[in-house]
């Protein structure tokens, strides 16, 4: 608590130092190391470098889908893929290193179970992987492509944006690649740096014709992935890699679907709406309890789940009720998906807003290695932004 | 040996490798040991003992420093059946196609030629916005199309209208797509010549080059899994072959053992870029072996050569589940498109040579004449008839508008509000 007071003092000093706008650029910069770890000595801080910036909150055990099993995120993905290949004889899984089980173990056991013609490695070529997947889907078979890290999806950008997204439209619905799903590990992981931490959803949000989906938990992941695979449009499914092992909960063994383009209000509230997706949902959940405890503020927490097409109605309905909106994502601020949400909400709910919409995001820089704790929109930054909105 | 095992323990992480396993890895004859240990050199080895063990290549050692010289002076030879006068050179290569089939080849090429002339003019007159002709390359289209089954899936680039023509795509639909009118099955969404036909297994054309190549490979893989006995054919130009997608497609087809024919139309130009600025190797056929792909170069203006090569490639691709690469040498007689004036970068003499001396239509016509299956009368009549077919008035005429009814509006999968 003393450290929190010290931190608050530090923040106040910075605030006094310059105008609000100046302050915005200082968010996170210059904070003493001790600030991050309340009871830290320098030694302890070094040992605690691996402490995550969030705490995964499992959802209660689902009762309506039959027997459940404790699964972490990668196991829930395996389960979804297992269900898909069992149900759909045309379904195939391919990408780099998927045959031995995948670098994140998402495809363990599937090649042995379903055969080497259905679960196979491809050469190291993302544009080839996606192009190949499109071709399979054009024949009507189900293609589940893996891109090893979302950071490496860019060679496939042309195939995704110019081809997959436009296949049905440009052919007048004579042809389509709706049975294509692309899965890829996504988001910060503590040590990933520039090329193992990216969240590229904003690049794809600008592309009509595809769906982009990001789960926050194993139970969500399985249901959403199954929906993506069965959806009649090409889908990109980003899997928060930091949650692969860190998130574990009871997940149904049988297949089930969670609808796409439906955001979930995971906690109701009345004073401010918090919107995030993927790992960041757990951060804002914690911010919501901090706000309740310290400020007596009641937060409505929304997991967006589908980035495009996004659930405008749920978010707007919430903002109409609360009058305040905070959106948070790891991806850089400028052009990040929060800007789309912010723009639409101010169009739809202008007169309901009590404060400017707040976006707490990564900085407009490449994703750093050693500076990750300073880069990511952690709970303190979110809490601070929330406080300012309340006091606006 | 003990030293080797000890060394192995130091440098290799201990993953439970037993002594026996280590012995297997460091077996006698492994290069380092054989050369260094005096006792070993006295033993009798078969020639197999000093072979390289690298997983990455299956090759012998060589102790002479020698770079492989790429052979572009005398490249892969060009397979042909007819000479430039339409005479069969080697009778054993004559496909002996029946008269109806050869006439269909001829009529498809000439009807395409006629349609090209009329639609090119239509663009000049402001009736359509854009057009690309196929002059000089008709042989590559119909020769290959004739060698396929009707259900074989076709992925094209943009200069393969003859494939659709051979598959009897109605003239009305060619033109509907160019006009973007209500009859266009593509619903008026794309520029002219971006044809597609589900019934005739011709995937809708898209403008980005070479993107169809890895897609065709995926389709072939799915066809293999489905035991469909279908081949997929993928057309592209020598310029598109420079794209990364082409490299990706070739490599995937070979490693994943796909029944696909890669058909490259090497017509000498990518818009204004001649082949000397497109590649330095021996064209596209020479790249095939680099990927492990069976490859051939053919005279693209010789319909029978194209037919024979495609037919054999199809038979083997399906039977053996492996890709084939056919590089059809030809010449783009027309401009790249109606937005291009090729006199800016090549001489009229060069174009005239190909138009007059080595044209797929004239060569086949010579063959037809020599067989007694065609004559000047029929030629005149057919020219008139084909022009009539192309110009025939249609319900609503060419003045039909685009499709504005609700059912034809863009089917956007992003209904935000």
> Which of B215, B242, B249, B409 is the best mutation test for A, with the most CBs of A within 10 A?
B215
Give one DSSP letter per residue of A200-243, joined into a string.
THHHHHT-TT-EEE--SSHHHHHHHHHHHHHSSS-EEEEEETTH
Q: What is the distance in angstroms between the Cα of A330 and the nearest Cα belonging to chain B?
A: 24
A353 and A237 in a common domain: no
Beta-sheet strands, E only, within chain A = 68-72, 92-95, 119-121, 143-146, 180-186, 211-213, 235-240, 248-252, 264-267, 272-276, 299-303, 306-308, 325-332, 358-362
Neighbours of A193 (CB within 10 A): 17
Contact assignment for B185 to A308 by CB distance below 8 Å: no
Q: Which two tokens stand for residue B68?
A: 């492989």
Q: What is the mean pLDDT of residues B235-252?
A: 98
Is residue A10 domain-resident?
no
Contact B214 A137 (CB under 8 A): no
Contacts of B219 in chain A (CB under 8 A): 135-136, 138-139
Q: What is the mean pLDDT of residues B220-228?
A: 97
pLDDT number for residue B402: 80
pLDDT, average across residues B97-103: 98
The token pair at B8 is 């192995």
d(CA B161, CA A297): 67
Q: Which two tokens stand for residue A267?
A: 């906690």
Quick one: pLDDT at residue B324? 98
Residue B44 has pLDDT above 70, yes or no: no
β-pair type (A92-95, A119-121): parallel
For A253, which DSSP code? Answer: S
**CA separation for the pair A93, A98 (Å, rounded):** 8
| CATH number of the domain encompassing residue A112 | 3.40.50.970
Nearest alpha carbon to residue A128 among A74, A77, A166, A182: A182
Q: Which residues pair with B197 in a beta bridge?
A: B202
Nearest residue, CB atoms, B214 vs list A131, A175, A209: A131
Domain contains A246: yes
What pLDDT does A188 receive? Answer: 98
Let me know whether A316 and A371 are in one domain: yes
Nearest CA-CA distance, residue B161 and chain A, Å: 16
Residue A332 neighbours by CB distance under 10 Å: 18
- A227 and A316 both lie in a single domain: no
**Cβ contact, residue pair A172, B414, below 8 Å:** no
- Contact between A169 and A207 under an 8 Å Cβ cutoff? The reply is no
Q: Which of A252, A276, A291 delimits the end of a domain? A: A252
Q: Are residues A169 and A304 in the same domain?
A: no
Q: Are residues A151 and A290 in the same domain?
A: no
> How long a stretch of residues is chain B?
417
Residues A200, A83, single domain; the answer is yes
Residue A6: predicted pLDDT: 52
Cβ atoms of B158 and B193 closer than 8 Å: yes
pLDDT exceeds 80 at position B415 = no
Instruction: Report if residue A21 sits inside a domain.
Output: no
At A299 the pLDDT is 98
For chain A, residues with pLDDT lower than 70 are 1-50
A347/chain B closest Cα distance in angstroms: 13
Domain membership flag for residue A11: no
| Residue pair A206/A238 in contact by the 8 Å Cβ criterion | no
Of A275, A328, A279, A377, nearest to A56 (Cα)? A279
CA distances to A313, B1, B28, B31, B43 from B34, rounded to whole Å, are 75, 11, 7, 5, 10
Chain B segment 251-310 residues within 8 A of A by beta carbon are 251-252, 255-256
Which residues have CB under 8 Å from B301's CB, separation 6+? B136, B139, B329, B330, B331, B358, B359, B360, B363
Q: pLDDT > 90: what percent of chain B? A: 81
Sign of the torsion angle spanned by Cα atoms B131, B136, B140, B145: positive
Q: Report whether A160 contacts A207 (CB < 8 A).
A: yes
Q: Any idea which residue has 């397979």 for tokens?
A: B79
Q: Is B186 exposed, middle or buried, given 0-12, 13-18 or 19+ CB atoms closer than 10 A?
A: buried
The percentage of chain B sitting over the pLDDT mark of 70, rounded to a whole number, equals 84
A79 falls within a domain: yes
A 10 A CB-CB count for A143 gives 29
Contacts of B414 in chain A (CB under 8 A): 208-209, 308-309
- Which residues does chain B have within 8 Å of residue A137's beta carbon, measured at their own beta carbons? 218
Q: Give φ, ψ of B172 to 5 degrees.
A: -55, -40
Sign (positive or negative) of CA dihedral B175, B177, B179, B184: positive
Q: Which of A252, A273, A289 is the last residue of a domain?
A: A252
pTM: 0.88
- Helical pair A337-349 and A312-322, crossing angle rounded to 10 deg: 60
State how far the Cα of B395 lies from the Cα of B183, in Å rounded to an integer: 10
User: Which residues share a beta bridge with A145?
Assistant: A94, A182
With b for 16 or more beta-carbon neighbours within 10 A and e for fewer, the A264-288 pattern comes to bebbebebbbbbbbbbbbbbbbbbb
- Domain closes at, from A197, A231, A252: A252
Query: For B365-406, how does the pLDDT look when each residue is reduced to its tens digit (9 = 90+)?
Result: 999 999 999 999 999 999 999 999 999 876 655 567 787 765
- Name, in order, each residue with C-beta under 8 angstroms of B177's C-beta and a sequence gap of 6 or more: B184, B185, B186, B190, B192, B193, B194, B195
Let me know if residue A294 belongs to a domain: yes
Residues A248 and A297 in one domain: no
CA B172 to the chain's CA centroid: 27
Lookup result for tokens 């399985």: A222
CB contact under 8 A, A170 and B213: no
Of B108, B144, B295, B337, which residue is the catalytic one? B337
SS3 state at A129: helix
pLDDT 10s digits, B131-171: 999 999 999 999 999 999 999 999 999 999 999 999 999 99
* Distance of alpha carbon B135 from alpha carbon B44, whole angstroms: 67
Dist CA A241 CA A223 (whole Å): 17
Two structure tokens written together for A100: 């031995």
Query: Does any domain span residue A45?
Result: no
* A90, A234: one domain: yes
What is the distance of C-alpha A239 from the center of its chain? 7
Mutate to test the interface with A, among B182, B185, B198, B248 (most CBs of A within 10 A): B248
Is residue A202 within 8 Å of residue A336, measured between CB atoms? yes
Same domain, A243 and A289: no
Find the domain containing A351 and state its range: 264-391
Categorise residue B2: left if φ over 0, alpha if ψ from -120 to 50, beta otherwise.
alpha
**What is this model's ipTM?**
0.88
pLDDT tens digits, residue range A174-225? 999 999 999 999 999 999 999 999 999 999 999 999 999 999 999 999 999 9
Contact flag A90-B225 (C-beta cutoff 8 Å): yes
Q: Which chain A residues have a beta carbon less than 8 Å from that of B184?
A: 172
Residue A309, preceding peptide bond in cis (omega within 30° of 0): yes
pLDDT tier for residue B71 given thresholds of 50, 70 and 90: confident
Please provide residue B285's backbone torsions phi and psi, each rounded to the nearest 5 degrees.
-60, -35
Q: What is the CATH number of the domain that holds A288?
A: 3.40.50.920
Does A268 lie in the same domain as A166?
A: no
Query: Mean per-residue pLDDT for B334-358?
Result: 98
| A86 within a domain of the structure (yes/no) | yes
Q: Are residues A72 and A146 in the same domain?
A: yes
Any idea how long chain A is? 392
Which residues numbered 65-104 in B keep a CB inside 8 Å of some CB on A?
none
Active site residues of A: 126, 196
What DSSP string describes A136-156? HHHTT--EEEE-S-GGG-GGG
Tell me, what DSSP letter sits at residue A262?
-
What CA–CA distance (Å, rounded) separates A85 from A101?
15
**DSSP β-ladder status, A306-308 and A211-213:** antiparallel
- The region that residue B335 occupies, defined by phi over 0 for left and psi between -120 and 50 for alpha, beta otherwise, is beta
- Give pLDDT, residue B400: 77
Please, which residues 160-179 of chain A have a Cβ atom closer than 8 Å to chain B?
A: 162-163, 166-175
Q: Is the pLDDT of residue B33 over 80?
A: no
Contact A169 B412 (CB under 8 A): yes
What's the confidence (pLDDT) of residue A76? 98
Q: Alpha-carbon distance A273 to B41, whole Å?
A: 80
Residue B31: predicted pLDDT: 43
Number of domains in chain A: 2
A209 and A325 share one domain: no
At residue B296, the pLDDT reads 98
Chain A residues touching residue B177 (CB < 8 angstroms): none
Give the separation between CA B321 and CA B316, rounded to whole angstroms: 7
């Amino acid at each position: 608590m003393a450290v929190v007071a010290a931190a608050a003092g530090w923040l106040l000093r910075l605030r006094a130092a310059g105008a609000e706008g100046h302050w915005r650029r200082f968010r996170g910069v210059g904070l003493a190391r001790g600030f991050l770890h309340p009871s830290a000595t320098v030694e302890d801080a070094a040992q605690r470098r691996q402490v995550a910036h969030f705490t995964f909150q499992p959802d209660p055990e689902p009762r309506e889908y039959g027997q459940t099993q404790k699964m972490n995120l990668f196991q829930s993905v395996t389960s979804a893929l297992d269900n898909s290949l069992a149900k759909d004889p045309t379904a195939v899984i391919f990408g780099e290193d998927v045959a031995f089980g995948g670098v994140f173990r998402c495809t363990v056991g599937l090649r042995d179970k379903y055969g080497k013609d259905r679960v196979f490695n491809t050469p190291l070529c993302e544009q080839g992987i996606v192009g190949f997947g499109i071709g399979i889907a054009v024949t009507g078979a189900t293609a589940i492509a893996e891109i090893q890290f979302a950071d490496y999806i860019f060679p496939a950008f042309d195939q995704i944006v110019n081809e997959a997204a436009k296949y049905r439209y440009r052919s007048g619905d004579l042809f389509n690649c709706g049975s294509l799903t692309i899965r890829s590990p996504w988001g910060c992981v503590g040590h990933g740096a520039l090329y193992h931490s990216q969240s590229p959803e904003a690049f794809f949000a600008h592309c009509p014709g595809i769906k982009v989906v990001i789960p926050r938990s194993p139970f969500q992941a399985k249901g959403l992935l199954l929906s993506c695979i069965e959806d009649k449009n090409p889908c990109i499914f980003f899997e928060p890699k930091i949650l692969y092992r860190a998130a574990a909960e009871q997940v149904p063994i049988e297949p089930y679907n969670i609808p796409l383009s439906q955001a979930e209000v995971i906690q109701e509230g009345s004073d401010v709406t918090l919107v995030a997706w993927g790992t960041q949902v757990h951060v804002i959940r914690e911010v919501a309890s901090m706000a309740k405890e310290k400020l007596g503020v009641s937060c409505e927490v929304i997991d967006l789940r589908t980035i495009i097409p996004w659930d405008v109605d749920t978010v707007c309905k919430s903002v109409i009720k609360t009058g305040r909106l905070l959106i948070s994502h790891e991806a850089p601020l400028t052009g990040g998906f929060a800007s789309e949400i912010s723009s639409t909400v101010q169009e739809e709910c202008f007169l309901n807003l009590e404060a400017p919409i707040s976006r707490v995001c990564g900085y407009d820089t490449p994703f750093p290695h050693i500076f990750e704790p300073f880069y990511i929109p952690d709970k303190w930054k979110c809490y601070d932004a929330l406080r300012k909105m309340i006091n606006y | 040996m003990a030293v080797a095992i000890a060394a192995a323990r130091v440098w290799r992480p201990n993953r439970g490798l037993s002594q026996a396993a280590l012995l297997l890895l460091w077996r006698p004859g492994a290069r380092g040991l054989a050369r260094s240990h005096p006792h070993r050199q006295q033993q009798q080895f078969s020639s197999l003992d000093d072979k390289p063990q690298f997983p990455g290549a299956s090759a012998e050692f060589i102790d002479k420093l020698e770079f492989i010289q790429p052979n572009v002076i005398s490249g892969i030879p060009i397979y042909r059946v007819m000479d430039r006068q339409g005479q069969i050179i080697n009778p054993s290569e004559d496909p002996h196609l029946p008269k109806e089939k050869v006439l269909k080849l001829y009529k498809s090429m000439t009807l395409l030629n006629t349609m090209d002339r009329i639609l090119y003019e239509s663009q000049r007159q402001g009736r359509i916005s854009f057009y690309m002709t196929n002059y000089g390359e008709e042989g590559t289209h119909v020769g290959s199309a004739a060698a396929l089954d009707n259900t074989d899936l076709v992925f094209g680039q943009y200069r393969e209208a003859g494939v659709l023509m051979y598959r009897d795509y109605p003239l009305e639909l060619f033109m509907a797509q160019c006009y973007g009118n209500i009859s266009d099955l593509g619903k008026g969404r794309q520029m002219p010549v971006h044809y597609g036909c589900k019934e005739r297994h011709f995937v809708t054309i898209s403008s980005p080059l070479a993107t169809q190549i890895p897609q065709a490979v995926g389709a072939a893989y799915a066809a293999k899994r489905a035991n469909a006995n279908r081949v997929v054919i993928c057309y592209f130009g020598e310029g598109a072959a420079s794209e990364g997608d082409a490299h990706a497609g070739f490599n995937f087809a070979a490693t994943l053992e796909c029944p696909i024919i890669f058909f490259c139309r090497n017509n000498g130009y990518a818009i204004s870029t001649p082949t000397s600025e497109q590649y330095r190797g021996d064209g596209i056929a020479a790249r095939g072996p680099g990927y492990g792909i069976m490859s051939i170069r053919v005279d693209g203006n010789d319909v029978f050569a194209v037919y024979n090569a495609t037919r054999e490639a199809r038979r083997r691709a399906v039977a053996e589940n492996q890709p084939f690469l056919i590089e059809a040498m030809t010449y783009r007689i027309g401009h790249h498109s109606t937005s291009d004036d090729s006199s800016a970068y090549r001489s009229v003499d060069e174009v005239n040579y190909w138009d007059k001396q080595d044209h797929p239509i004239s060569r086949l016509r010579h063959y037809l004449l020599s067989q007694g299956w065609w004559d000047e009368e029929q030629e005149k009549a057919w020219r008139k008839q084909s022009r009539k077919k192309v110009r025939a008035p249609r319900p609503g005429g060419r003045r039909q508008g685009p499709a504005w009814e609700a059912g034809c509006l863009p089917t956007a999968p992003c209904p935000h509000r």
